[in-house]
Amino acid sequence: MLKRLYAINFIDAFIAGATTVLVPLLMAERGIGIATIGLVFAAAPLAKALVRLAGAAIADSLGDRIIYVFASFSNLLQALAYLVSTVPAGFAAGKLLDGARESFIWSVVRPSLMAAAPEKKHFAFADLLSGRFAYNAIGSLAAGLLFIYGGYSLPLLVLAALSCYLVYSSFRLRDFHRAASAFKLSDFTPFGRSRKFYEVAGVFVAGSIFYNAVFYMLLPIYFKLQGFSIWEIGLLYAGYFLLQGAALNLISRRKVGTANAALAGAAIYCAGLAGVAMSPQQLMPLFFLIMPFGDACLSMLWEEMNYIVGKTSSKRATDLAVVVMPSFFGVVVASGLSGAAVAAVGFAPIFALCAASEMVFSAWCVRLSRMKA
């Protein structure tokens, strides 16, 4: 069952890696402006915010399997939506489904692993994440290859077929995690939590608010405007995910400390992003492929913060959903405004804001790791 859980996650990651490359470029290809693309991309975190709590409550009450089934169906429907969409509303529907898919699967994967491997702490999440990054890489690479032979339609049809297999596999999964008590509406309240809980919510806002908009929306478009083809962009993202997964696997095995991960993560990630923004076109790939080594350290910090919240909780899925709610709404706002901001002032200021937010995230994680309660 644990192997099946990993397989479901890896196929989901393959699909996510492919759509990361395909969707913003497909929208630009079909004549949708960058400001509108920003508004469309805001749909995903909005759906994540709306779905995450419901998915967590169902998982805590009824078990994990039904949520994996919902995530698999969302993958199928989003691939079909992108396949037929020609207007912003159609792509927005796809991004809503993508946000729902991400919320469903992440509402259960951490509680599932905590239940299946409690002795590994947050390093178990890092192991799974490293595998997901590897399949993100394969998905990005496959998107570029399939595009060469069949345009945008072929890779999207392949993703739809893989989603059908995910649905089948999810139905065969057993429940790993279920809460000790029945669901109550008060489980969703943010009030009466510990100081550390509120600070973790804040650190998640800092770590994601500009990161998501830059990495998943702006950078593919930026590379295209600099003259890179979709195959080259797919190759870059494949390399990024592969290096991030390898680096994360290494630091999780060596159990790198929080302070070292924070310092290295912020320094390497921000240096790479600055290089992408300021270097000539021929050096951009080099700087882009420096970033994942820092990103791996930042991912480790993110999982440590999740572990801080979930380790003593009887309703892990719900508590882990509540703590990320502010970050989801922050990403909605940032994604919605980033496209218009780029159209007005260019890419560099948004990249700078992203770098600054990751520095704050890293320093805050170190503080939280040292708090007693």
Considering only residues 255 and 95, tell me which one the structure prediction assigns the higher pLDDT.
95
Q: Domain residues of the chain, as ranges? A: 2-173+192-370
Range 139-156 burial, b when 16+ CB lie within 10 A, else e: bbbbbbbbbeeeebeebb
Query: What is the pLDDT confidence band of residue 354, given thresholds at 50, 70 and 90?
Result: very high
Flag whether pLDDT at 95 surpasses 80: yes
pLDDT > 70: what percent of the chain?
A: 92
Query: What is the pLDDT confidence band of residue 69, given thresholds at 50, 70 and 90?
Result: very high
Flag whether pLDDT at 176 surpasses 70: no
Flag whether pLDDT at 229 surpasses 80: yes
User: H or E segment at 323?
Assistant: helix 316-345
pLDDT of res. 20: 87
Flag whether pLDDT at 175 surpasses 80: no
pLDDT of res. 116: 66
- The first and second tokens of residue 221, run together, are 């478009």
For the chain, give the mean pLDDT: 86
Q: What is the pLDDT of residues 73-85, one digit of tens each?
A: 999 999 999 999 9
Query: What is the pLDDT confidence band of residue 340, given thresholds at 50, 70 and 90?
Result: confident
**CB under 8 Å to 106, separation ≥6 — which residues?**
52
Q: What is the pLDDT of residues 132-169, one digit of tens each?
A: 888 988 998 999 889 888 989 999 999 999 999 999 99
Flag whether pLDDT at 306 surpasses 90: no
Query: What is the pLDDT confidence band of residue 222, given thresholds at 50, 70 and 90?
Result: very high
| Biggest alpha carbon–alpha carbon distance for the chain | 58
Q: State the fold for domain 2-173+192-370.
A: Growth Hormone; Chain: A; (1.20.1250)
The residue-averaged pLDDT of 218-231 equals 91
Using CA atoms, how far residue 311 sits from 261, 308, 316, 317, 320, in Å, is: 21, 6, 8, 11, 10
Helix axes 230-254, 291-310, angle to 10 degrees: 50
Between the ranges 123-137, 239-253, 351-365, where is the mean pLDDT highest?
351-365
Flag whether pLDDT at 180 surpasses 70: no
DSSP summary character for residue 175: P
CB of 224 closer than 8 Å to CB of 233? yes
Question: Considering the entire predicted model, what is its pTM?
Answer: 0.79
Give the separation between CA 153 and CA 159, rounded to whole angstroms. Answer: 10
Task: Using alpha carbons, select from 171, 216, 172 the residue that is nearest to residue 73.
Answer: 171
**CB under 8 Å to 119, separation ≥6 — which residues?**
none
